[in-house]
């Protein structure tokens, strides 16, 4: 495995003061655990707002990620933030097509595709999320659903410039998680349908206790982490495989 990527998705959590507190604690823990960090690891946090956070983040070893990106380049799109604006804040990764965006904001695969193209055009690495619902999983439709999402979300996309995150919707924030073997099976399928060199992250109740088993799988190249990324000590444990 050439590179491992771990991205914490803070979702709509942490005020600016809480963010500063996190970074202060993270810096201390990182210094004390630097020799334990996974080799060739890229790690970032996807914050809910970027301007002042980006300034604070410059004081840490963390990369900056965002949870969403506009599908439009610029113009009269109230509430949107363009890829160009994010690039100026030194954003490296953009989560695209998270299931919560698809569910609550009715994002389609076509929207995800447009956002992916905007990210790549502005030298931001899109982390394109795919995953099945519990109903689809129980009907053995996982591969069918994933293949459809990949086909339409990645249309005309240079696969060397994207990361794909497999997040079974039934495992997000539920405390349930796919077994390492289940996750590996789907991630292998994704690589077969895309490119063997594409980095695949697993997301869905990832925590310090299960991350090592997940990353030991041959086709899982990293993790997209929710709740376990909100506390600095927990996040450091992810980066050190809880060692």
3-state per-residue secondary structure call for 169-226: HHHCCCCCCCCHHHHHHHHHHHHHHCCCCCEEEEECCCCCCCHHHHHCCCCCCEEEEC
Does the active-site annotation cover 98?
A: yes
Catalytic site residue from 132, 167, 181, 192: 167
Q: Using CA atoms, how far apart are residues 242 and 195, in angstroms rounded to an integer?
A: 30
SS3 assignment, position 79: coil
Classified as helix, coil or strand, 62 is: coil
Count of C-beta atoms within a 10 Å radius of residue 159: 12
Taking CA atoms, 130 is separated from 18, 51, 123, 215, in Å, by 30, 28, 22, 18
Catalytic-role residue among 61, 98, 192, 209: 98
Task: Specify whether 152 is catalytic.
Answer: no
Distance CA 156, CA 117 (A): 9
Alpha-carbon radius of gyration of the chain: 17
Known catalytic residues are 98, 167
């Amino acid at each position: 495995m050439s590179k491992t990527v771990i991205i914490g998705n803070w979702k709509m959590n942490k005020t600016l003061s809480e963010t500063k507190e996190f970074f202060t604690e993270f810096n201390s823990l990182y210094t004390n655990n630097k020799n334990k960090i996974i080799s060739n690891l890229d790690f970032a946090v996807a914050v809910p707002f970027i301007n002042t956070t980006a300034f604070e983040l410059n004081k840490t070893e963390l990369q900056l990620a965002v949870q969403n990106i506009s599908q439009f380049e610029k113009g009269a799109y109230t509430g949107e933030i363009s890829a160009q604006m994010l690039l100026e804040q030194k954003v490296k990764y953009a989560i695209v097509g998270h299931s919560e965006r698809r569910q609550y904001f009715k994002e389609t695969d076509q929207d995800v595709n447009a956002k992916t193209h905007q990210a790549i055009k502005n030298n931001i690495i899109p982390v394109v999320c795919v995953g099945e619902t519990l109903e689809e999983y129980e009907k053995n439709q996982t591969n069918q659903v994933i293949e459809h999402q990949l086909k339409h979300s990645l249309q005309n996309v240079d696969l060397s410039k994207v990361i794909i995150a497999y997040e079974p919707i039934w495992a997000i924030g539920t405390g349930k998680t796919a077994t390492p073997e289940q996750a590996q099976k789907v991630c292998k399928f994704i690589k077969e349908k895309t490119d063997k060199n594409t980095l695949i992250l697993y997301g869905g109740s990832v925590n310090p206790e299960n991350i090592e088993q997940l990353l030991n799988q041959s086709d899982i190249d990293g993790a997209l982490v929710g709740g376990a990324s909100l506390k600095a000590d927990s996040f450091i444990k992810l980066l050190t495989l809880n060692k």
